[in-house]
Structure 1
Amino acid sequence: MTNGDRALTAFVYLFLALLAISTFYPFWNALVVSLNKGMDTALGGITVWPRAFTLENYEIVFQDKRIIHAFGVSVLRTIIGTVTAILCTAVFAYGMTRSELMGRKFYMVACLITMYFSGGLIPSFLLIRELGLFDSFWVFIVPSLISVWNMIIFRTFFLGLPAGLDESAKIDGCGYWGTFFRIVLPLSGPVIATLSLFTAVAHWNDWFLPSIYINNENLIPIQTKLQQILNSNIMTEQMQQLDSAAQARLSAMKSITSKSLSMATMMVATLPIIMVYPFVQRYFVKGVLVGSVKG
Structure 2
Amino acid sequence: MHILVVNDDGPPSQHSSPYVHSLIRTLQSHNHTVSVVLPNTQRSWIGKAHMVGQTVKPSYFLPGELSTAHDTGTVSHAPQPPHSDREEWLLVDSTPASCVQIGLHHYFDSRGPIDLVVSGPNYGRNTTAAFALSSGTLGGALEAAICGVRAIALSYAFSERVHHAEVIAEAAELGVRLIEHLTGEGRWGEGVQLYSINVPVQKGIGERKVYWTKMLQNQWKGSQFREEMVPVEEDEGAEEGEERIREGELWRGEGKREQSKVEKNGEAAGPEKHVRYVHKHFTWSPNFQGVYETVEKGGPGSDGWVVKEGFTSVTPIKANFWHVDGFEGELKF
Q: TM-score, normalised by structure 1?
A: 0.24
* Structure with greater proportional helix content: 1
Higher relative contact order (CA 8 A, sep 6+): 1
Instruction: Report which of the two structures shows the higher radius of gyration computed on alpha carbons.
Output: 1
* Structure with greater proportional strand content: 2
